[in-house]
Amino acid sequence: MGCIQSFRELCDRPKNTNVRVSLPAVCFVWQIAMIILFGVFIRYNEESSPFWIEHRKAKNISSDIENDFYFRYPSFQDVHVMIFVGFGFLMTFLRRYSFGAVGFNFLIAAFGLQWALLMQGWFHSLDYSDGKIKIGIENLINADFCVAGCLIAYGAVLGKVSPVQLMVLTLFGITLFAVEEYIILDLIHARDAGGSMVIHTFGGYYGLSISWMLYRPNLDQSNRLQGSVYHSDVFAMIGTLFLWMFWPSFNSAITDHGDGQHRAAINTYLALASTVLTTVAISSLFQKHGKLDMVHIQNSTLAGGVAVGTAAEFMLMPYGSLIVGFCCGVISTLGYIYLTPFMEKHLKIQDTCGIHNLHAMPGVIGGIVGAITAAAATESVYGTEGLINTFDFEGAFKNMTPARQGGHQAAGLCVAICFGVGGGIIVGCILRLPIWGDPADDNCFDDEPYWELPDDEENIPPVLQYNNHMRNKDVVESNFTMEQSDARPRS
């Protein structure tokens, strides 16, 4: 107990947000390390090197159009926009943290995709004949997926950590992601095309566990900045729309060419559409006077895309996709209304963006849906060849049955949760050390400690709270203006 008390006292030392030395040092050293590691390990694969011509002749490929680049690049573009624009703008709802939301999202994504190419490459793309990692367009998509897990985790600690802490969070997050992905997809042989388990469940519980470890009992000192204003919610809605539009590409980007990719896009498209209607219905039903809460529209409308990810390439059927979206719209919206305040008050988890409702819970639902759909698969529905192709019943898994595959899917979900919670607790302990330049409790959710702001933004008069992702308050009737507004719920 004495050691624990000493550790807490060490972590509770006065905060210093000056990162003039630590941030440049981390960025320079880690980027130089990336250059060295890329020089040693990374090479182009046969489809992106000049040897493509010889490869094409050897494989009897008739045209350059058969190069995987032309199949995958449109999906890569969509996923890339989701990572840098969608996630970045979705987190701009805080009235004084837009620079941090978009800028730090940019920083950790740019670093994370480099580290992900290495970590995933060592597990999936290593050529044992020469010890090199061979990369192509599909590796870039997978690297973006890997980064998505860390951006999800960032949502839980948004406004409460320094850029140096975010770099550390990303370094460990990418490493953990690559390991759990290898275990789930390769060793357990679970299928997870859209990453409900590997990306969303892991990223959600990784971020929530870190937030629990970094709990701030006096965070209400920054309460004046926790809410949003009218224009910040509009910017966040831009992120929502980009994510919503491109989510079918996200879930289908790395599925097999042909029917699997086609089916994944259709299932995601329908689940997202269904989620919007149920989110609007629940938001209106549970607010006084039937008014809509922008928090729910920004976030819960995306939950269907998360939940359908694992089963996206399965024969979920169009009506099944609508059912998944319907359920997630209800569960996610109720999570913002009831669960987020409960978790902050009783579990000491301060979830700034509500990632538990958008990613963690829908990710778990997606894993369960995937397990049930896989276990229920039959040759009459898929066809003999279709069943083998969809679930990859080949090689060491050629004798796998759908029922056993369902069990493997459930095991994959458990692994994702364990890695997220366990890894988050360990990384949270590291991030609690008072060496990272994180802000004090009364200085959170503010760009000022880490960004040069325009002169007219340096000092602003306090305004009444308009909206808050972390607190649930009764809705009252008001005549809203940009200068003053009555409170309404942010969670």
* Prediction pTM value: 0.91
Predicted pLDDT of residue 455: 79
Decide if 144 is inside a domain: yes
Both tokens of 351, joined, read 């979830």
Decide: helix, strand or coil at residue 135. Answer: strand
Residue 478, pLDDT score: 41
Identify whether 15 is part of a domain: no
Residues 376-381: contacts with CB under 8 Å, at least 24 apart: 376/402, 376/406, 377/314, 377/315, 377/402, 377/405, 378/402, 381/315
| pLDDT score at 358 | 97
Could you tell me which residues come within 8 angstroms of residue 487 by beta carbon, excluding any fewer than 6 positions away? 227, 464, 465, 466, 467, 468, 473, 476
The pLDDT of residue 394 = 92
Q: What pLDDT does 165 receive?
A: 98
- Report helix, strand or coil for 227: strand
Dump pLDDT digits (tens) for 176-187. 999 999 999 999
Assign 127 to helix, strand or coil: strand
Burial of 479 from C-beta contacts in 10 A (0-12 / 13-18 / 19+): exposed
Give pLDDT, residue 234. Answer: 96
317-350 pLDDT, tens digit each: 999 999 999 999 999 999 999 999 999 999 999 9
Task: Give CA 158 to chain center in angstroms.
Answer: 13
Write out the H or E segment, with its range, that includes residue 467. Answer: strand 467-468
d(CA 195, CA 178): 13
The total domain count for the chain is 1
Q: Looking at residue 481, what is its pLDDT?
A: 43
H or E, element range at 425: helix 402-431
Domain containing residue 164: CATH number = 1.10.3430.10
Question: How many alpha carbons lie under 13 Å from residue 150 in its C-beta half-sphere?
Answer: 34
**Domain assignment of residue 448, yes or no:** no
Q: Would residue 438 count as lying in a domain?
A: no
**Domain extent at residue 273:** 26-432
Residues of the chain with pLDDT under 50: 1, 473-491
Whether 434 and 10 have beta carbons less than 8 Å apart is answered as yes
Quote the mean pLDDT of the chain.
91
Contact 207, 153 (CB under 8 A): yes
Q: Contact 372/314 with Cβ under 8 angstroms?
A: no
Give every CB contact of residue 322 below 8 A, 6+ residues apart in sequence. 270, 271, 273, 274
Give the bridge partners for 127, in sequence order. 132
All residues at 6 or more sequence positions from 138 whose CB lies less than 8 Å from its CB, including other chains: 68, 72, 254
- Interatomic CA distance for residues 88 and 151, integer angstroms: 9
Specify if 491 maps to a domain: no
pLDDT at residue 288, rounded to an integer:
86
222 inside domain:
yes
